[in-house]
Amino acid sequence: MLRANFSTRPFYNERVVNLLLLVAAVLVLGLTVFNVSRIVSLSNQNTELLARAGEAELRARQLRSAAQQVRRTLDVKQIQTVSASAREANTIIDRRLFSWTELFNHFETTLPDEVRIAAFRPKVDESGAVILAVTVVGRRVEDIDRFMGALEATHAFTGVLSREERTTESGELLAVLDVRYVPDQATAPAGQTGAGPEKQP
């Protein structure tokens, strides 16, 4: 007796399955490559940041060391002297104790031709008076003495004293004068001859 088996074999589309497996493998491989590249990139960035941080820390140490060295070399007394001089100058300016124009006019009218002013520095003493340290250069002692006498004659300068004298390399005499400046006691404004008769030519 013949037996026939009419049952059909299940159908599988192997090409589709293989294609899907291939696509999945490609995706996994792509993701793996991307992740590896990101890890390498982040690692390089981290290394660069660590290097920069090290350089910044080294630079900071160098700056701190330089600052400490500068502080050690600063002359505290010199700084205090400069600060005191600045305060004195500011006090003179703020209080408007005198007119610079008037002071220069006094110098111009009393200064002999043989004497020139090299420098001067004003300061205010404890009583509030203006003290001038005037450095002058002249040919002879008599020329500087004449200038000192002319200053006192204006009554705007009192206590004119020479506290330092020396001869320069050019043979001239350099003197540092201490002068008390009281412009309110001047007999007449600088540059004016007063109410006396005019000189005849």
Q: Given this model, what pLDDT does residue 187 score?
A: 61
- Number of Cα atoms under 13 Å in the Cβ half of residue 80: 3
Assigned token pair, 52? 């920069």
pLDDT digits (tens, 9 = 90+) for 163-183: 899 998 889 999 999 999 887
Q: Given this model, what pLDDT does residue 198 score?
A: 41
Q: Given this model, what pLDDT does residue 84 score?
A: 72
Dihedral pair phi/psi, residue 173, rounded to 5° = -100, 125
pTM: 0.46
* Spans in the chain with pLDDT lower than 70: 1-13, 17, 70-79, 82, 85, 88-98, 185-201
Q: Given this model, what pLDDT does residue 201 score?
A: 39
Cβ neighbours of 124 (radius 10 Å):
17
